[in-house]
C-alpha cells in the first residue's frame, strides 16, 4: 500500500501529551513528524469553552503547577509576558454541616463540631497505633484511608467524598496511585490544633498555582501549538482518525487520507485506540480498565462577587445535598473569565428556579462557578435534570442565594473523565502497554497510559516529551515508569535543573 503521507513519527492528539511529543520532535529536528487531532483547536481535555454570553469554562478543574523545568520553559515560551499570567495562593475548603473547613479536611478537624472532633480523634489514635504494628501494605484505597486517618475521618469525609469523585466505592480502588495526592495527617499536629483551636496551613503541590490571564487553560495549549510549524499540524475534520493498521503501520483518516509511520505516539484513550485497531485480543484486555464520566457545569451570575465567596479557589463537597464534588470559583482566576461589567445580559432564571420579573438585558458585574459531577454504572446521575439539580445544590450549600440572577449556564459531558486506579489496573497496563509498544505504538497521556497519578498537565506534557526522547534517543521514560520519583520531594532538584532526560542520566534509585 502506498500512503498519501509518510512520516517517521505520527502523533495522534493535540492535548498536552501530543503537544509535548510534537514540541520535542520539532526541537530535536531529526525525524519527520506530523500531529493530528479531530478538534479544530489544540487542548484536548485541557481546553476551554466559551458560552454565547462570554463566560469561560475549562473542561474540568485545571491549574498550572509543575514538577519539570522543561515544561515551565515551554509554556513560558508560548506565553512569555508577565501579563499573560496570574499567580494565586490556593484558598480551598471542604463544605461540611454548613461549615467551611480548610483543606485538607483531615488536618483541620479542629473546625468541626465537638462530637465530630471526638469521633475523628478516636479514629486517628487507633490508626496511629495500628500503623506502628502493621507489616503489610493496604490491599485497597479504603484500607489505606482507615490506616492513615481512622474510621471517623473515613466515614465523615474520605469515603463519601472519594465516592463522589471516582464514582466507585473506595474498596474498588488500589492505593499505589496516591503519592502526593492525599495528605496523611500528623496526629500530634492535629491534636495540638484541636486543643488550641487552630487550623493547619496550606498543603500539597498546588498550594501556589498559575493561571493564564486570558483564554483559560485552553489558551496555553493553543499558544504552545502555535509555536509548531503549520505544515506539521492536521486539525479538525482532516485530523480525525478512523482506523489504525498496526501491521502495515498506516493510519486512515476520516477523510480517506492515509498516513504511513515508523513510530506512532497515540494519546487517544487506549481502550478506544485498540478499537480502531480492530485487535480483539487487546480490546478484550482493555475491558479491565475502568473510568468515570465527568459532567462540567457552569453558572454565570449577575452581581458583585459576594463576601461569603471571597477569594476562594476550589471547594469540596462530600455531602449528598448537592450532586457536585467540586466547585471552582472560575471568575476568581481571571477578570477575563466572564463578560465585562458593561455587557448587557438578560436574566435566564433566579437561583430558586423561578423566572425573573423582567427579561430586559442589564449590565453586570458578573461572576461564575464551575462544577464537576462524576458518573458511572456504580454512580448514575439524572443527566436530563443535572443542571437544575446542580443549581439547587448551589442554593443548598449557600454558594448562591435563591434570589441571585443567573444569566448564563453551561453543561458538557466528557465520556472519559477520570481514569480509575482500579484494583485491576496494573495487571492490565503491564500487559497492554508493552504489547502496543512491540507494535511501535506508544500509548501515552491521561487516558493513553491510564495513570491518574501522572495525569496533570505537566505530567501529561512530559509523557509526550519523554516518549519522543525514547523513540529518538533511547531515553528512559521517567514519568510513565517512575511516577513516585517524579512526584517526590527528591524530584525538586531535578525540576530545577532538568531538560529532557537521556538514558545515561537516569538516577541510580530508578535503574
- The predicted pLDDT at position 297 comes to 98
Percentage of the chain modeled with pLDDT above 70: 93
Instruction: Judge whether residue 189 has pLDDT over 90.
Output: no
- Listed range (198-202, 262-266, 495-499) with the worst mean pLDDT: 495-499
For residues 213 and 104, the model is more confident at 213
Categorize the per-residue pLDDT at 505 as very low, low, confident or very high, splitting at 50, 70 and 90: very low
For residues 500 and 162, the model is more confident at 162
- The predicted pLDDT at position 425 comes to 95
Categorize the per-residue pLDDT at 179 as very low, low, confident or very high, splitting at 50, 70 and 90: low
Given CATH 3.40.50.170, say whether it is the number of domain 5-85+214-289+422-510. no
CB crowding 383-410: b at 16 or more within 10 Å, else e: eeebbebbbbbbbbbebbbeebbbbbbb
- The predicted pLDDT at position 500 comes to 54
Kindly calculate the radius of gyration of the chain based on its CA atoms and give it in whole angstroms. 24
- Listed range (75-89, 197-211, 282-296, 330-344) with the worst mean pLDDT: 197-211
- The predicted pLDDT at position 168 comes to 97
Strands 233-235 and 241-245: unpaired
Contact present, 296 and 372 (Cβ < 8 Å) = yes
- The predicted pLDDT at position 504 comes to 34
CB crowding 118-157: b at 16 or more within 10 Å, else e: ebbbebbeebbeeeeeeeeebebbbbbbbbbbbbbbbbbb
Q: Measured between alpha carbons, how far is 33 from 20 in angstroms, rounded to an integer?
A: 13
Query: What are 339-384's pLDDT values in tens digits?
Result: 999 999 999 999 999 999 888 999 999 999 999 999 999 999 999 9
Backbone angles phi, psi at 200, to 5 degrees: -85, 155
Categorize the per-residue pLDDT at 205 as very low, low, confident or very high, splitting at 50, 70 and 90: low
Q: Measured between alpha carbons, how far is 202 from 92 in angstroms, rounded to an integer?
A: 9
- The predicted pLDDT at position 487 comes to 84
- The predicted pLDDT at position 509 comes to 31
Instruction: Judge whether residue 106 has pLDDT over 60.
Output: yes
Strands 48-50 and 93-96: unpaired
Categorize the per-residue pLDDT at 204 as very low, low, confident or very high, splitting at 50, 70 and 90: low
Query: What are 401-449's pLDDT values in tens digits?
Result: 999 999 999 999 999 999 999 999 999 999 999 999 999 999 999 999 9
Cα-based angle 54, 57, 61 (whole degrees, multiple of 5)? 160
Categorize the per-residue pLDDT at 490 as very low, low, confident or very high, splitting at 50, 70 and 90: very low
Query: What are 292-351's pLDDT values in tens digits?
Result: 999 999 999 999 999 999 989 999 999 999 999 999 999 999 999 999 999 999 999 999
Instruction: Judge whether residue 139 has pLDDT over 70.
Output: yes
- Average pLDDT of the chain is 91
- The predicted pLDDT at position 209 comes to 85
Q: Measured between alpha carbons, how far is 223 from 259 in angstroms, rounded to an integer?
A: 26
Strands 441-443 and 366-375: unpaired
Q: Measured between alpha carbons, how far is 27 from 509 in angstroms, rounded to an integer?
A: 29
- The predicted pLDDT at position 497 comes to 47
Identify the CATH class of 291-418: alpha beta
- The predicted pLDDT at position 180 comes to 47
- Listed range (134-138, 362-366, 480-484) with the worst mean pLDDT: 134-138
* SS3 of the chain: helix, strand, coil, percent, to 5: 40, 20, 40
Interhelix angle 114-133/187-196, rounded to 10 degrees, is 160
- The predicted pLDDT at position 508 comes to 33
Query: What are 14-56's pLDDT values in tens digits?
Result: 999 999 999 999 999 889 999 999 999 999 999 999 999 999 9
Categorize the per-residue pLDDT at 60 as very low, low, confident or very high, splitting at 50, 70 and 90: confident
Q: Where are the domains positioned within the chain?
A: 5-85+214-289+422-510, 93-196, 291-418
Contact present, 431 and 318 (Cβ < 8 Å) = no
Amino acid at each position: 500500500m502506498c500512503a498519501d503521507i509518510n512520516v517517521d513519527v505520527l502523533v495522534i492528539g493535540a492535548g498536552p501529551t501530543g503537544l509535548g511529543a510534537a514540541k520535542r520532535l520539532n526541537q530535536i529536528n531529526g525525524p519527520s513528524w506530523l500531529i493530528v487531532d479531530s478538534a479544530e483547536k489544540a487542548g484536548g481535555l485541557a481546553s476551554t469553552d466559551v458560552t454565547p454570553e462570554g463566560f469561560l469554562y475549562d473542561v474540568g478543574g485545571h491549574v498550572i503547577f509543575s514538577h519539570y523545568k522543561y515544561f515551565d520553559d515551554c509554556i513560558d515560551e508560548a506565553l512569555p509576558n508577565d501579563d499573560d499570567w496570574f499567580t494565586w495562593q490556593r484558598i480551598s475548603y471542604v463544605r461540611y454541616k454548613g461549615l467551611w473547613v480548610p483543606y485538607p479536611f483531615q488536618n483541620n478537624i479542629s473546625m468541626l463540631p465537638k462530637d465530630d472532633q471526638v469521633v475523628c480523634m478516636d479514629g486517628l489514635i487507633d490508626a496511629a497505633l495500628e500503623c506502628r504494628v502493621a507489616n503489610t501494605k493496604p490491599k485497597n484505597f479504603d484500607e489505606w484511608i482507615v490506616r492513615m486517618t481512622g474510621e471517623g475521618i473515613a466515614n465523615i469525609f474520605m469515603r463519601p467524598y472519594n465516592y463522589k469523585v471516582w464514582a466507585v466505592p473506595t474498596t474498588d480502588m488500589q492505593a499505589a496511585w496516591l503519592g502526593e495526592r492525599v495528605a496523611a495527617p500528623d496526629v500530634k499536629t492535629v491534636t495540638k490544633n484541636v486543643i488550641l483551636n487552630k487550623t493547619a496551613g496550606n498543603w500539597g503541590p498546588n498550594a501556589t498555582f498559575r493561571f493564564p490571564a486570558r483564554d483559560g487553560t485552553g489558551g496555553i495549549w493553543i499558544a504552545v501549538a502555535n509555536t509548531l510549524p503549520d505544515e506539521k499540524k492536521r486539525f479538525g475534520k482532516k485530523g480525525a482518525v478512523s482506523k489504525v493498521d498496526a501491521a502495515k503501520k498506516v493510519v486512515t483518516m476520516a477523510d480517506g487520507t492515509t498516513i504511513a509511520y515508523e513510530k506512532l505516539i497515540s494519546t487517544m484513550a487506549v481502550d478506544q485506540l485498540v478499537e480502531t485497531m480492530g485487535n480483539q485480543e487487546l480490546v478484550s484486555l482493555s475491558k479491565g480498565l475502568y473510568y468515570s464520566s465527568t459532567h462540567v457545569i457552569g453558572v454565570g451570575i449577575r452581581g458583585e462577587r459576594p463576601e461569603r465567596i471571597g477569594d476562594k479557589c476550589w471547594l469540596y463537597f462530600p455531602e449528598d445535598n448537592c450532586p457536585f464534588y467540586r466547585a471552582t470559583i472560575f471568575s476568581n482566576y481571571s477578570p477575563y473569565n466572564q463578560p465585562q461589567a458593561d455587557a448587557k445580559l438578560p436574566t435566564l432564571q433566579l437561583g430558586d428556579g423561578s423566572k425573573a420579573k423582567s427579561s430586559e438585558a442589564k449590565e453586570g458585574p458578573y461572576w461564575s462557578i464551575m462544577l464537576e459531577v462524576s458518573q458511572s454504572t456504580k454512580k448514575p446521575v439524572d443527566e436530563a435534570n443535572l443542571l437544575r439539580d446542580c443549581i439547587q445544590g448551589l442554593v443548598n450549600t449557600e454558594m448562591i442565594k435563591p434570589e441571585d440572577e443567573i444569566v448564563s449556564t453551561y453543561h458538557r459531558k466528557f465520556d472519559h473523565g477520570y481514569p480509575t486506579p482500579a484494583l485491576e489496573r496494573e495487571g492490565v497496563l503491564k500487559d497492554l502497554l508493552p504489547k502496543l509498544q512491540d507494535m511501535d505504538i506508544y500509548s501515552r497521556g491521561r487516558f493513553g497510559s491510564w495513570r491518574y497519578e501522572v495525569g496533570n498537565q505537566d505530567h501529561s506534557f512530559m509523557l509526550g516529551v519523554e516518549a519522543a526522547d525514547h523513540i529518538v534517543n533511547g531515553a528512559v521514560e521517567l514519568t510513565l515508569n517512575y511516577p513516585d520519583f517524579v512526584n517526590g520531594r527528591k524530584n525538586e532538584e531535578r525540576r530545577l535543573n532538568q531538560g529532557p532526560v537521556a538514558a545515561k542520566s537516569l538516577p541510580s534509585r530508578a535503574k
